[in-house]
Amino acid sequence: MPSTAVIILAAGQGTRMKSDLPKVLHPVNGVAMVDQVLAVARDLQPARTVVVIGHQGERVRDHLAGADDLTLIDQTPQLGTGDAVRQCLPALEGFHGTVVVLSGDVPLIQANELGRLVATHHERHTVVTLFTAVVDTPGGLGRVVRDDTGRFLRIVEAKDAQPHELAIHEINAGIYCFDADLLRRCLPKVTRDNAQGEFYLPDVVAMAVAERHLVEALPYTEPSEVLGVNSRLDLAHASAHARRRVNEALMASGVTLVDPATTYVESGVQVGRDTVLHPGVYLRGATRIGAGCEIGPYSSYVDAVVGDGVRDRGYSHVEGCTIAAEVLVGPFSRLRPGAEIATGAHIGNFVEVKKSRIGAGSKVNHLSYIGDTEMGARVNVGAGTITCNYDGANKHKTVIGDDVFIGSDTQLVAPVTVGDGALIGAGTTVTQDVPAGALTLTRAPQENRPGAGKKYLDRARQIAAEKKQKKQE
Ligand code: UD1
Ligand code: CA
């Protein structure tokens, strides 16, 4: 198969987004548009990939800095799609295969469809093969003009079109395969002689037809997938489409979505088989959920790695942490970056864990804050236990051994270490290290004064009643 090179056009301004963020960096279902297009491009295993940047190019450049398989071309000023591709020709020097042109703002294009375009281009030995879409409202898009027999003739931009051409519903999707040498031959001949004063890439297609070369215009199977994102409304539509696609793929792979309409799974997320996602679940970023898990209603996970058989009872917020198999989470747990929850541990309601390791089988079930802590296995942490990790200037570490029992309402003032098997009595403020096996208590002695409670309360209630009566008078 002949080799391919990819050009991604991403220099345009995106005025209608009304944004300080470059258009192609806006996420569609969690992934920046340009990254989605790049992923589809990489599927072709191209010999070279060129991205044309321009408007707010530095930010796009920074965003793409990690990718070393790309050549970035700065197109300033932006004089049209024809100019954009022409600026790429030096980067394609010596390349004579197929140049695939994609738009950075058409994020929903599918790899298999693009593969079909390239395969058609190669099988039919055409010099240009492009995608079209039949749409209800063609608006400002380029119209595809065909002859009586349906053969492709040319593309006319809406602003240059005659009324009978504007009535055409088949539009140019802006996704093409070009023979590299055709681009070299024709791009220098493209002029700005049109309504917008721009260099139009589609003029190359007209030139190929004029040279009596074969040009193929293929309707894209699902038109909504090749409509560009130009506004926030388009962005929302594209995200909804991408989300639906992700949800359908999850269900096809054996994940139960109790209500797909209210389940939000970003495009980069993985979920294992037989996992159940309840309504309102929001899985984001690089989150990976294992098999046989149950994620309860309204829990959100960001960049979290979750093992098999985990049960989240809902309303939890989990970010940047690792949860091993068979862990119980929630309801209402907050797991912050750097939390590592080992196998079978329980993190209960209103428990916050930050930058801490919770050992296997340990239980922190109610109303606790655990920060900067190394906790061993089988520890029982009573309700209301707090690690006092911050002294106003520095964070300090708490180390808790295995099989420790911590009574309710304990404060562990870090830095502090609790040895294996220690028992800490309820209400203790631990300020010194606790040796293994010790019983530790800090508690003021209790005093019982017989009858004094009743006496006090009777008097208080009497005063309250008198006050109430005075008010009514
Ligand atoms: C273009 C096509 C039109 C097609 C439509 C599909 C032309 C002249 N027209 O419309 O037939 O129906 O796409 O969406 O090509 N860009 C640059 N540099 C530029 C101009 C644009 O990189 O100088 C990029 C944009 O960032 C965008 C893509 O090219 O990613 C398409 O540009 P856009 O302005 O959205 O499309 P039109 O020119 O209006
Ligand atoms: Ca334009």
> Which ligand 1 atom is the nearest neighbour of the CA of 83?
23
> Residues near ligand 1 with C-beta < 6 Å?
9-12, 52, 75, 78-81, 83-84, 103-105, 141-142, 155, 157, 171-174, 200-202, 228
Residues 9-45: tens digit of each pLDDT: 999 888 999 999 999 999 999 999 999 999 999 999 9
| Across 438-457, average pLDDT | 96
> Which ligand 1 atom is the nearest neighbour of the CA of 104?
30
> Which ligand 1 atom is the nearest neighbour of the CA of 171?
12
**Would you state the pLDDT for residue 2?**
75
| Across 152-180, average pLDDT | 97
Q: Tell me if 337 sits within 8 A of 355, measured CB to CB.
A: yes
Q: Which residue has the tokens 């994620």?
A: 295
Nearest ligand atom owner, CA of 174 = 1
Nearest ligand atom owner, CA of 79 = 1
Residues 45-64: tens digit of each pLDDT: 999 999 999 999 999 999 99
Q: For 220, which DSSP code?
A: P
Q: Which residue has the tokens 């894209």?
A: 220
- The DSSP line for 122-167 is HHTT-SEEEEEEE-S--TTSPEEEE-TT--EEEEE-GGG--HHHHT
Question: If you measure from the C-alpha of residue 80 to the centroid of ligand 2, how many angstroms do you get, rounded to a whole number?
Answer: 6
Banded model confidence at residue 429, pLDDT cuts 50, 70, 90: very high
Q: How far apart, in whole angstroms, are the C-alpha atoms of residue 349 and residue 23?
A: 40
List residues with catalytic annotation: 366
Nearest ligand atom owner, CA of 138 = 1
**Would you state the pLDDT for residue 1?**
65
Question: If you measure from the C-alpha of residue 81 to the centroid of ligand 1, how many angstroms do you get, rounded to a whole number?
Answer: 5
Residue nearest (by alpha carbon) to ligand 1 atom 16: 12
The pick from 38, 81, 144, 157 for probing ligand 1's pocket by mutation, whose C-beta has the most ligand atoms within 8 angstroms, reads: 81
Percent of residues, the chain, with pLDDT higher than 70: 100
Q: Reply yes or no on whether the pLDDT at 249 is more than 70.
A: yes
Nearest ligand atom owner, CA of 142 = 1
Residue nearest (by alpha carbon) to ligand 1 atom 25: 12
Residues 325-364: tens digit of each pLDDT: 999 999 999 999 999 999 999 999 999 999 999 999 999 9
Q: Reply yes or no on whether the pLDDT at 473 is more than 90.
A: no
Residue nearest (by alpha carbon) to ligand 1 atom 22: 11
Cross-strand bridge partners of residue 421: none
Q: Reply yes or no on whether the pLDDT at 8 is more than 90.
A: yes
Backbone angles phi and psi of 255, in degrees to 5: -100, 135
Residue 110 identity:
Q
**Would you state the pLDDT for residue 13?**
86
Percent of residues, the chain, with pLDDT higher than 90: 98
Question: If you measure from the C-alpha of residue 336 to the centroid of ligand 1, how many angstroms do you get, rounded to a whole number?
Answer: 42
Burial code of 116-139, b = ≥16 C-beta within 10 A, e = fewer?
Answer: bbbeebbeeebbbbbbbbebeebe
> Which ligand 1 atom is the nearest neighbour of the CA of 13?
26
Question: If you measure from the C-alpha of residue 90 to the centroid of ligand 2, how many angstroms do you get, rounded to a whole number?
Answer: 23
Q: Where are the alpha helices (DSSP H) in 253-312?
A: none
Give every CB contact of residue 406 below 8 A, 6+ residues apart in sequence. Answer: 379, 380, 381, 382, 385, 400, 412, 418, 424
> Which ligand 1 atom is the nearest neighbour of the CA of 82?
15
Mean residue pLDDT across the chain: 97
Residue nearest (by alpha carbon) to ligand 1 atom 26: 12
Q: Reply yes or no on whether the pLDDT at 291 is more than 90.
A: yes
Q: How far apart, in whole angstroms, are the C-alpha atoms of residue 25 and residue 15?
A: 14
Residues 353-403: tens digit of each pLDDT: 999 999 999 999 999 999 999 999 999 999 999 999 999 999 999 999 999
CA atoms within 13 A on the CB side of 358: 36
**Nearest-CA neighbor of 72 among 104, 120, 108?**
104
